[in-house]
Amino acid sequence: MTTNSTGVLADTAAYAAAVEEAKRAAAAYYTAGESPLDDDAYDRLVRGIAAYEEEHPQEVLDASPTGKVAGGAASGDVPHTAPMLSLDNVFSAEQFVTWTASVERRIGRPVAAWSVEPKLDGLAVAARYRQGRLERLITRGDGAAGEDVSHAIGTVLGLPDRLGEPVTLEVRGEILMTDEQFEQANAVRTEHGAAPFANPRNGAAGTLRAKDRPYRVEMTFFAYGALALEDSGDLAATLAELPHGEVLTYVAGLGVHTAADTDVAPRTVTTAEEVLAGVEDIAARRATLPFGIDGIVIKADLAADQRDAGTGTRAPRWAIAYKLPAVEKVTRLLAVEWNVGRTGIIAPRAVLEPVEIDGSTVGYATLHNPADITRRDLRLGDHVMVYKAGDIIPRIEAPVAHLRTGAERPIEFPEACPQCGSEIDMSEQRWRCTRGRDCRLVASVSYAAGRDQLDIEGLGATRVVQLVDAGLVQDFADLFTLEREQLLSLDRMGETSTDNLLAAIEVARTRPLSRVFCALGVRGTGRSMSRRIARHFASMELIVAADAEALQRVDGIGKEKAAAVVSELTELAPLIGKLVAAGVNMTEPGATPPAEPGTETGDGATGGGAQDALPLTGMTVVVTGAMTGVLEPLSRNQMNELIERAGGKSSSSVSKRTSLLVAGEKAGSKRTKAEELGVRTATPEEFAELVEAHLVTASEA
């Protein structure tokens, strides 16, 4: 790098080298969708260049990226209707407040309203419609003219060939790849012998310009504005005066995709404090989004405020990008470790050259499975793009193939189980030790005893190790046959701790079926899916007897998962038999067995027709804030159980599909979004009254 860790350039030579490095990186990205630098490294480089130029204005080089759209690296031959500019950046609340003050000084009054929306991590384009028909697609280029990429029309979701009305206008927005589209694109590319894309942004940039590929991959468009063309008629005057938020509503009504139906929908606020609350809310949702964002865009909403603030050569003075910490960086793949999970799954883990991402140091990343390593053509020594968002385990997107030196080495796959040396079942993409759960018995039993499963207080991993080493436990069903004398014989097990543990095991024996099923650790199912399965079948006997077709009647279970669950339950039959013999509860309180095929009157997800009488039947419920009253003792998992036992479906985010928001103390942004969408809201006390009949079983669970 040409800058030090703070981004400061030491002298003229360092400045010139930094300008050249930025020029090469921008050219590689804007011409081929590739760059030797990740986004954060490029931003730091340009900030260092700008800081040096501010101190030494007489030394500014013509090739400098500052003050130029796309860093001066892009161009085009199709003139834009109006300049298509970049955005300046702020990186903190303090910088944002300073910027708002400068805008208000410029216009001579407070800004009437602000629009707050996600900064989508894609490629800016202009889509020209004439008489409602998509005529041309143009990249941003250098801001004055762009490249014609109309050949991509038909491959971009959210950008219809025809609008809902025969109007003439230009819609501007971002073309990107969603996470799903990125995975599909890389699968198609590797099938055709091409290197996988390093990240979705590069994938969209490269795909949009490609003309002669023997395959097609999809992308998605999100509109962020619109303007009139020269022959737009009365629409020109209308668009020129509409507030920004209403412009987005208008184009959405024509059938163009916007972010309005996402969890980070644009919102209009009136104060800087509300803007910062919106920034915090969008940033908090970043990890759960199915597409990438790298910041939040804040714009003056009213057309009059925008006109009075004016526009510079590179960026408008009435809009700013509040950049978020980078969630992806380029680093090196040093090694691969092979770990065995509680069900015997053999999972590869990447050992990385440590890199700072999103406020934490990342030294490891998930690699999914051997087939994934092969498909991505990963090699030891590769430069790789590593992605991390929120608390999600970092993952490797792909190797940065154009940075390879030839010294990279193939990754060696294990020939026997790394844990116990047994044979490996390689019949599926995820390899598994042939001993299955027996390979990692301690982990399997500890999982079953965990809080979200049987919740056996006093049975931590250390105690499980004792029980396994003493030969008292071969699986978690053996917990229910433990005797007092056996426990007293163990180290550090006195009478009080023994009696407490036995009492906790007795309570676990009465847990509802949903928790018992979750304790089995069936691959592909978790806490929520276990509840749905238990609610649908009502008893373990019916679950075990179900075939793949019957399992597909459970909400969220498709053909592939159903077959996997049936196979796993066959393998678990001896363990389930031991649990039944030990007197463990095998029914779900309040659930009704499903009717025979062809006679069901329920919704197929909650059992038989009797479920239609439940108070939350057909409703999607979101819980937020601190619960009060009789709901105060319930954990969030117990609240979800309560919702599902009352016939509803629990969700973690508010959307148009939400039927009810249970808003406790300090409900925050979810309450705000519910109000914007017109979603019904209930206090904890009101909700408790609604589901009163189901409260006892939920709290006991």
Cite the active site residues.
Answer: 119
The residue type found at 599 is T
d(CA 101, CA 170): 32
d(CA 136, CA 503): 72
Report the SS3 class of residue 106: helix
Structure tokens at 128: 């020209």
305 closest CA partner among 114, 171, 119, 96:
114
Helix/strand/coil (H/E/C) assignment for every residue in 77-101: CEECCCCCCCCCEECCHHHHHHHHH
Query: What does the DSSP 8-state code read for residue 274?
Result: H
H runs (alpha helix) in 391-526: 441-448, 461-469, 484-488, 495-508, 513-520
d(CA 522, CA 656): 32
Long-range contacts of 638-642 (CB under 8 A, 24+ apart): 638/698, 638/699, 638/701, 639/698, 640/527, 640/528, 640/531, 641/512, 641/514, 641/531, 641/698, 641/701, 642/691, 642/694, 642/695, 642/698
Report the SS3 class of residue 203: helix
| End-to-end Cα separation, the chain, in angstroms | 56
d(CA 657, CA 140): 35
Interacting residues of 282 by C-beta distance below 8 A, sequence separation 6+? 116, 118, 264, 293, 296
Q: Is 330 exposed, middle or buried (0-12, 13-18, 19+ CB in 10 A)?
A: buried
Pairing of strands 293-300, 114-120: antiparallel
Pairing of strands 219-228, 123-130: unpaired
Sequence length of the chain is: 701
Structure tokens at 556: 């969220």
Backbone conformation region of residue 36, classed left if phi is above 0, alpha if psi is from -120 to 50, else beta: alpha
